[in-house]
Structure 1
């Protein structure tokens, strides 16, 4: 079954599915107001925390959140999703990773997820017996009960651990329910209690979709049976943005997790690939983030977006233990365990039986970031100066470490990092790509979202870049390259982060995956002008493209489909880009990293079902024209073979501690490469590996540090390798090692710790 068919088959089982964004809490609320009324969990005796359940193949990283005061950390995570359970389906296992590590975390649910009010499978599906009574208030309460049980179990090991429930006034003039886990004041849930659309794609004006487009003036509330919020309310578009901005001001996040605002359309029937509540809820979050970023004193923050329904049609990114753990959490939420049915005393029910009818969709064994930082955001100059780039507060930020200065007696004086330094332009999407130009300047490419300020106003994304005015100097303003997309209605502005090739003659090529899941490009010519966007073909491309040049200057562009990896080649500056070409590589979990190799290029990726890091060498002469359909690849956690028509390249399995996402790779020129990648517990692990085929897997060492995005690395001209990551506190961390497998120095931040690191 094609990926989009599998998605539709699962999506139609339920009217509403949603994603959650975790968030953090500070003692003082801004814009939400004081608690009006509280309801405690069962009992008032002090609650003793239980041991954290094992949720992955490796032990928990960071400091476990013991009962008592909020952990000492500058990190604060806020997750904002459309429906209860979107966090469990689409953001977990990162939910559990953050909970186990002791980070302050708040999850905000926009709608109540009341669906059709029937807490049970559709007629003729699942269990027998009479159809449950339709009651939207009770189904709302049942889903809340399931979420509370799932979170409590992830933290304490006990789904029945009590919560403190209270009413809070919102900045938009309504009310919300705030739940705090007893004994863990840094773990909170916020129920905004708005109506859901009640249909994945149907015409439902009384919804987030209709409110965004101005088809309705207000969106009303959907209260829970016996809930602490008892007064109905409604929000206009502006009031909802005010409410979300108020949440951000209260919880002061250093990372925001949200759903994908540009999910794209299915190839088979051009329908939107995700729920309308996911898409337009995320756009309201974008509006609130833009307003919050322009506000007064606050911490810097990163943003991570997560793929929704389409995630179920892609190769599984999680190892078996992590997938099973995620599925167990979903079983707790769905109230499907045999022992839990008789223990529920709430007349509304204690979970979502619609999920229980289909307890293990492929969503439970995978996770895919809709936008990622990639691994190509760190540059080393010929003088060993370092430049790092990221998106903070919706703007491009950079850090700089000058070359070490020569001192008396031949000693070199260590230089210090400066930054972050911000560009003026807002609305930048996660994931920027810096490149060194032949004249010594740096250009930084990315995509930007332009939000319409009024109902129905144009929403669009564009590619573009900034460039230094002179080597080592400040960057000029954003230069737009437009977009290959015709309109938001056609493709929902679903474009990838760019891949960039720079030639010695100053010409460049910028590559994007467009909403038709093909590769497109714009070329910078010798006279400085840019060609229009041109389609380069391909089928079912769903990864961000990556690019590298080999030792002859030939450029390679790679992009992953659900079944293999496609390649495009530009043999010389100004030459026509040829492709797509079949690489013969097996299925990957999508994110790719490509580096120059002794002969051609070498690609690094993750194997499905295990998260193992793999690598393979590619050469243009061995690539064959791609058939119309690259063909399915046999999926196996133990073997990795292609069914392509030509001989597959040799693949080296480099192991690793599970995990998902892009792999950082820095070949040091002496036959070894420094690898860095996210593990199954969410922290970063590193390993020195031999280039090419190796008989033994390298030893991986975990750092215990949870990153925001993927790590990046660079090789110094004088020898040695530098590795960097962005922490969940939005600070840049770095380490270094000598060439040839040397030991990494201790990780350290590039800037000192300050209270909140607030923007003035």
Structure 2
């Protein structure tokens, strides 16, 4: 669900192209007509446009050209030899929604070799359209422009544009509830399991305040879509993925050369029909990058007090869980609800000194860190969420904090960490929130671990003057104050770091690489004396973006049986949207080549080790289901089963 006809291509690919290649049906909803500053046509029957630079286009013609551009880009993603060879079926589609809603939208569908794409054009006026006919009521006191913003903010009623040649012949009117109900009705008709939206809370470090630090249509459309997903029935929960917009050009390049080439070709197919595309830094830079607003984490599986594995995921803003049944089977999913508002996708799960699991998350309506705790070890989950607050109280900066991570503290409890609204690091202890500095470039997606001497180490990606750097905070002894390491060695990162322990207890930090090494993984590790290696290493990789999942080498000191050849295991999403994995070549040494495990997943995978020493891989598949594979026996050389669905 996006605002304009190029937003999906620029900000959500290659994720969409990968889903199409995997033969998952893809439906894209364009909320606005994308008509820009063009003037309404004076003609009652608008002639078909010539979609080329130099031709003067009316509002309805320019919108039709952008719709044609969207169809052209998806034709390439479907595998047609060129953008014009797809056989699109376009018609007026009547959509029924809650509360008796009934509206018509422009609908296009194309298929090829089992791949299916549906495009839905709602055609509400876009931000730049300042003409009086955008409003249903001339007495409406809100401004003519920024229709989506006024729908969201003021519940204004707006009237759609009719692109030239549209099969919809009557302008439709919407207020906020109408649009939300339309999106619900579309979900009930097309039954998505994954919904992709734009950035609902852009980074205040970039962009103009009067445009909500991105584009008012992007932000307002995302907020409306997320609210609609919250209202879906319990039987139709979805994975919601949010994508950053204009500000990705300020981050490191994180797509590999092949992904950039494909994205450039897809955007060029669109741009052929859009006469307002210009050769600016944004249009050059956006196809080189893909960044989620809220990354899915990698710490969403843990061992219960009895050693059984339990996984957690967020669907439609609420928490779900799956767990081992004591044998080789799994139970779930079970809904654990929410704290009264939607949760961000990354949850951090840990077991406390009493053996109870705790789930830490970010609440997205109040921007508070919250925690859900088992009633007793291996017990039930009462739906009583603890509110841990926010480093900034109720100030505007509170909306900018990141998702929490946790580490075991010296007193046996947990210490919570988050990227704060000033772009630094904050921690929550029993004494409240404390600012640990390191700003202003710290990004969401932290890694925290307690070392063999009880000291906590925290790692982060920061973006400073357009380049990625690794940051490290550490303690001199257990329970001591945190210090920022000014000289932590690392290659330029393009994604959040992850940290794991080798068999000898030393730490290894892994992270995606930027620029010419985009698509590869780097790592920085401790030597046997505890010093950090001065020359980090490239582990190659299979492409992809986002955090890398890591499991520490199994060891009895962590409640795991003695395991033959214990090694760190890594897995990560790859350029095709599946999962690739590797492990150390031997205990405490470097890594083997990556293995492509296939599949198509959303967010990031997770890894856990059971009490017997077997390693388990988890992911949420492209159809929204939890999938799993495990070693057939303990040991660093043991192979894995295939992917199986859980619940």
Post-superposition shift, 1:679? 1.3
Q: Confirm or deny that 1:615 pairs with 2:536.
A: no
Partner of 2:104: 175
Contiguous gaps of at least 5 residues in structure 1: 1-79, 119-128, 336-350, 404-413, 451-459, 525-529, 624-646, 752-760
Q: Which of 28, 33, 51 is residue 112 of structure 1 equivalent to? A: 33
Cα shift at 1:276: 1.4
1:483-632 to structure 2, matched below 5 A, reads 483-485=390-392, 487=394, 490-491=396-397, 493-503=399-409, 505-524=411-430, 530-532=431-433, 534=435, 536-562=437-463, 563-572=468-477, 574-579=479-484, 581-597=486-502, 598=504, 600-609=506-515, 610-618=518-526
Which aligned pairs between 1:118-129 and structure 2 lie closer than 5 A? none
Q: Are residue 386 (structure 1) and residue 309 (structure 2) matched?
A: yes
Match of 2:364 among 426, 449, 452: 449
Matches of 1:85 and 1:446, distance apart in 2: 32
Cα shift at 1:177: 0.6
In the alignment, the residues of structure 2 paired with residue 546 and residue 145 of structure 1 have an alpha-carbon distance, to the nearest angstrom, of 44
Secondary structure of the residue aligned to 2:583 is: strand
SS in 2 for 1:285: helix
Any conservation in 2 of the 1:197–1:208 contact (CA below 8 Å)? yes
- Distance in 2 (alpha carbons) for counterparts of 1:617 and 1:549: 15
Aligned with 1:373 (options 296, 308, 324): 296
3-state DSSP of counterpart to 2:630: strand
Write the mapping of 1:131-530 to structure 2, written as runs, cut at 5 A.
132-155=55-78, 156-160=80-84, 161-170=86-95, 171=97, 172-182=101-111, 186-198=116-128, 206-214=146-154, 217-266=156-205, 272-292=212-232, 295=233, 297-298=235-236, 300-335=237-272, 351-355=273-277, 357-358=279-280, 361-381=284-304, 383-403=306-326, 414-425=327-338, 426-450=341-365, 460-476=366-382, 477-485=384-392, 487=394, 490-491=396-397, 493-503=399-409, 505-524=411-430, 530=431
Q: Which residue number corresponds to residue 32 of structure 1?
A: none
1:716 paired with 2:639, answer no
- What is the DSSP-based 3-state SS (H/G/I as helix, E as strand, rest coil) of the residue aligned with 2:367? strand
CA distance in structure 1 between the partners assigned to 2:143 and 2:582 by the alignment: 52
Q: 1:743 aligns with which of 608, 614, 639?
A: 639
- Counterpart CA distance in 1 for 2:322 and 2:477 is 33
Q: Secondary structure at the match of 1:81?
A: coil
Return the TM-score normalized by structure 2.
0.86
Residue aligned with 2:231, SS: helix
Residue 662 in structure 1 maps to residue 547 in structure 2: yes
**In structure 1, how many angstroms separate the alpha carbons of the residues matched to 2:121 and 2:392?**
36
String of CA shifts for 1:203-223, please: whole Å, max 9, x gaps.
875421122111x62122122
Superposition deviation, residue 91 in structure 1:
0.5
CA contact (8 A) 2:501 2:553 kept: no
Partners of 2:549 and 2:584 in 1: how far apart? 12
Aligned-partner SS, 1:376: coil
Structure 2: any 5+ residue segments left out of the alignment? 40-51, 131-141, 555-564
Q: Which of 680, 683, 701 lines up with 2:575 in the alignment? A: 680
Compare relative contact order (CA 8 Å, sep 6+) and give the higher one, 1 or 2: 1
Measured after TM superposition, the shift of residue 316 of structure 1 is: 1.1
Task: Report deviation, 1:281.
Answer: 0.7
1:96 to 17, 20, 32: 17
Q: Is the 8 A contact 1:668 1:721 kept in 2?
A: no
Deviations 1:387-410 (A, max 9, x none): 11111232111111144xxxxxxx
Shift of 1:367: 0.6
Q: Number of residue pairs matched?
A: 594
Q: Residue by residue, what CA displacement relative to the aligned partner does 1:305-330 show, whole Å, maximum 9, x if unpaired?
A: 11111111111111101111110111
Contact 1:259-1:282 within 8 A present in 2 as well: yes
Deviation for aligned residue 1:616: 1.1
User: Which whole-Å deviations, capped at 9, do the CAs of 1:506-563 have from their partners, x for residues lacking one?
Assistant: 3322111123212122212xxxxx5145453422112321111110010011111122
Distance between the aligned counterparts of 2:279 and 2:412, measured in 1? 59
* 2: CA distance, partners of 1:221 / 1:267: 31
Instruction: Write out per-residue CA displacement over residues 46-80 of structure 1, whole angstroms, 9 at most, x where no aligned residue.
Output: xxxxxxxxxxxxxxxxxxxxxxxxxxxxxxxxxx0
Cα displacement (A) at 1:86: 0.6
Offset of 1:233 from its aligned partner?
A: 2.3
Give the 3 Å change call, closer, same or farther, for CA 138–682 of structure 1 in structure 2: same
How many Å separate the matches in 2 of 1:269 and 1:284? 21
CA-CA distance at 1:565 after TM superposition: 0.9
Q: Which whole-Å CA distance do the structure 2 matches of 1:714 and 1:149 have between them? A: 43
SS at 1:387's partner residue? strand
Q: Could you tell me the TM-score, scaled by structure 1's length?
A: 0.73
Does the CA-based 8 Å contact 1:438-1:505 persist in structure 2? no
